Amino acid sequence: MSKIQVRGIEIGYDEVGSGTPVVLLHGFPFNRTMWDEQFEALRGRHRVIAPDLRGHGETTATNDPVTMEEMAKDVAALSEKINISRAAVCGLSMGGYVALALYRMFPLRARALVLAILARVPTQRKLRKNREAQAGKALKEGMAGYRRRHVAKTVGAKDSGEESRCCCPGARDDREDKPEGAAAACAGWPNAGTRLHFSSRIVCPTLVFSVAKT
């Protein structure tokens, strides 16, 4: 567990292993602990880094809307600070959009990409409405309660606790996530869905798990 100052904020991150760097970017509304099991699987062959994205986990929350591009700049600054010039970048959901933004702005930093479960939405208006509702729920319920409801809804579960452990076994509720950070990410998210067209211009090795419609 480490913390570092970049771009006027403090970023919490974990780092293990040695070898080819792999950067893991968590989904919403989780934090870097969702990658705990992947850390164990990869640490023998790779230098693995998982940061808390801005406003999540142990990374500073800001009140203004936080775009995927802003988070990508944080990841690039962190990578530079810890002497990683290129890495395989894996992003889940929100983290996938951050990985895509990172490649668009800093293409030489990505040795390879893994883009998992990116959501394509029919209209910006619908996405903005959805994110505003999510932001309100996060602020009202707190992150632990909101996270359990979010996972249960996503997988259609009756027992949100069991499904949360099954789908994201490393995502722990003991980490003090910040509702205002989640709300800021929701406010900055609506433009992310329009960037999927950029994927056709990616030239590095890329694995796409799925593109879901919300």
Ramachandran angles phi, psi of 166, nearest 5°: -75, -45
3-state secondary structure of 87: strand
pLDDT band of residue 211 (cuts 50, 70, 90) is: low
Residue 101 has pLDDT above 50, yes or no: yes
Chain segment 139-150, per-residue pLDDT in tens: 666 666 666 666
Measured in residues, the chain has a length of 214
Instruction: State residue 65's pLDDT score.
Output: 87
Instruction: State residue 153's pLDDT score.
Output: 60
173 Cβ partners below 8 Å, 6+ apart? Answer: 144, 147, 148
Q: What is the mean pLDDT of residues 21-30?
A: 93
pTM of the model: 0.82
Question: How do the domains of the chain map onto residue ranges?
Answer: 2-213
Q: Residue 146: how many CB atoms within 10 A of its CB?
A: 21
Mean residue pLDDT across the chain: 81
Distance CA 22, CA 113 (A): 10
Chain segment 113-149, per-residue pLDDT in tens: 999 987 665 555 665 666 666 666 666 666 666 666 6
Which one, of 196, 188, 194, 191, lies nearest residue 70 by Cα? 188
**Better-predicted residue by pLDDT, 67 or 162:** 67
pLDDT band of residue 43 (cuts 50, 70, 90) is: very high
Which one, of 13, 74, 75, 24, lies nearest residue 46 by Cα? 24
* Range in 30-34, 45-49, 168-172, 182-186 with the lowest mean pLDDT: 168-172
* Range in 94-108, 121-135, 153-167 with the lowest mean pLDDT: 153-167
Chain segment 55-87, per-residue pLDDT in tens: 999 999 988 889 999 999 999 999 999 999 999
Instruction: State residue 189's pLDDT score.
Output: 73
CATH topology of domain 2-213: Rossmann fold (3.40.50)
Instruction: State residue 41's pLDDT score.
Output: 95
**Better-predicted residue by pLDDT, 211 or 18:** 18
Instruction: State residue 140's pLDDT score.
Output: 65
Residue 170 has pLDDT above 60, yes or no: no
